[in-house]
Chain A
């Protein structure tokens, strides 16, 4: 599904990713943990082609994203992305946020897109907010709309970039619930998060990133109960 080989990414002289190798199989839920500045978010942004990579290869769904002939817009649509700060479109209603992709990218008839949008809003428990503007939603509701928006393109995988980090503690649960449901439905997910409970419960694999490389990877149980790497141990002791 996603295959990354020796990925390097620099911003100017600052090298953020220093050779990342990662292979994610369909239906897998991978949680990425690590201190801030370790390159977790950059990794996700490279997979979604939001950053141009410096060297290495990324194959998403069979498409080499470094190949100039690859239609990156298509690859992006096939990979959903959920952002820390939601990034909902404030000038559109909740429903329009969800249907924009299907209508403009998938050329779905408006009526059909609306139906799909309502189904997805139902799924994230927000069908009563369809006609509301994002400004009138709580953070947790916004993030659930953002998840519905990315689901609307029927992506093969979804990347979550710290989806609950900007939320008040009491709103985190509702977002994690939606994510858990997606995981159980077999969605391929890569989740950057500090929610260790979520990782322990739904992750097939946990990656610990630090200083631009994957330091350790293991099943959640093995990682949390018996971290091998010194840095992993220190990090887990802090969170």
Chain B
């Protein structure tokens, strides 16, 4: 499978923020609406997957990750997300596990 690559620090910000736009800059909502959702939709259309590289930022709040990945699973179903999304996180290996949980529990 071919992949479209997203780098968080290069394509978005080194300081990912809170959950919603109303709470502050570089929110999860902003990342989801401006970058991840359109990229994921395009990838599905072209039978491709998406990789997101999370390294190189100051860190991620729970709200940001839940809004982005839980939001993606709410829109496209957890099965589609698991099938078409690869998370790269070498600095914080535990984030992959955290994100898996946000995807699994997206509709709870």
Is the pairing of A and B real?
A: no
B residues at A contact (CB < 8 Å): none
